[in-house]
Amino acid sequence: MKKIHLSPVLLVLIAVAGMTLYVFTREETGKNGRVNEPLPVVVEQVTQQPFAVVIEALGTAKANESVEVTALSTEMVDSIGFDDGDRVKKGQLLVSLHNREEKAKVNELEIGLQEAKRQLTRIRNLARENAASAQLLDEQEAKVKALTAQLEVVNAKLADLEIRAPFSGKLGIRRVSQGALVRPGEVITTLDDVHQMKVDFSISEVHLPDVQKGLKVQAHSVAYPDKVFEGEISSLDSRLDPITRSIQVRAIIDNPDFLLSPGMLLQINLHKRLLNTLVVSEGALIPIDDKQFVFVVDEQGMVKKTEVKVGYRKPGTAQIISGLNEGERVVIEGALRLGDGAKVKVVEG
């Protein structure tokens, strides 16, 4: 009998083909549930629970009130009554400018006014006895009014030389020194009212019907990852951006411990509404084209590939609008190895 000689290359090709056929056969039988050993999976029961619909946005914190403290007159700094970062009350004296000339003028006018009033009283008494003319009385009354007006002008100039806090808040860095010459508009320091913070952010027009003044918000900062800052919407812009189709929203955030500072980036969460709906873990969802599927496990341990309609999502969970019933079990781990009708073994996650 004639022997058949096979080349080494042919033997390798035959071996590879056999191995490929073996693997393919095992995969197909696994997908169709024809293997004896069930595949281990982790399942979750579909439940109906409260589901908060949240709008997320980013905004920059601003002080509730903020000003740059400046001088109104060109003058030398006589004294400074604050340090960097001080908290001050409304009306507190911050800087005194050179005011010797104005004080002297005030003293001069006060003395003159006092004498003019004394003379006015004397002339009035004489006028009652017809010992002084009405013209003399009118002239003295006009003199008193003129001196009073001059005194008010000088007092106003004197007040301009005393720079006071327009509201209570926290001061910034001092930018002048005693003896320095300051000019109108030159920044001496900054003042911020930070017991509350304003945060401006944008939301899409699709959320406009659900967002209104008074809606509660929560703010998060990377500087304080475990801290939640509470607040509410104070106003909405009157116009939408025609390019982005978004609207500007302003929220007021409480800052009782003064942890937030102007310029901080804040993540804003608006609780649009609270739904009572079916919820599953996002790990159960299998996207195919533009559809979503899950594997439902029955009492016999068989899986069924089921299409579902997904509503709102938030990290880790998704709302199920249709396709599932409360109490059904869905696969949340191990779904990628399954096919419709496969046998599974439920294990702890």
* Domain ranges (residues) in the chain: 30-52+276-346, 54-64+193-273, 99-160
Residue 301: per-residue pLDDT: 84
3-state secondary structure of 25: helix
Residue 196: per-residue pLDDT: 92
143-148, long-range: CB < 8 A, 24+ apart = 143/116, 144/113, 144/116, 144/117, 144/120, 147/109, 147/112, 147/113, 147/116, 148/113
Residue 207: per-residue pLDDT: 84
Query: What digits encode the pLDDT tens for the residues 1-55?
Result: 444 555 665 665 666 566 655 545 554 444 444 445 788 888 888 888 888 778 8
Residue 50: per-residue pLDDT: 84
For residue 56, which of 240, 220, 289 has the smallest C-alpha distance? Answer: 220
| pLDDT-above-70 percentage for the chain | 89
CATH of 54-64+193-273, one of 3.40.50.450, 2.40.30.170, 3.30.230.30, 1.10.10.10: 2.40.30.170
pLDDT at 211 over 90: no
**Band (169; pLDDT cuts 50, 70, 90):** very high
Please give the residue that has the higher pLDDT: either 38 or 170: 170
Query: What digits encode the pLDDT tens for the residues 307-330?
Result: 899 888 888 888 899 888 888 898
**In this structure, CATH architecture of domain 30-52+276-346:** Beta Barrel (2.40)
Q: Which residues of 92-113 are buried (b: 16+ CB within 10 A; e: fewer)?
A: eebbbbebeebeebbeebeebb
Calculate the average pLDDT of the chain: 85
| Total count of residues recorded for the chain | 349
DSSP string, 135-179: HHHHHHHHHHHHHHHHHHHHHHHHHHTEEE-SSSEEE------TT
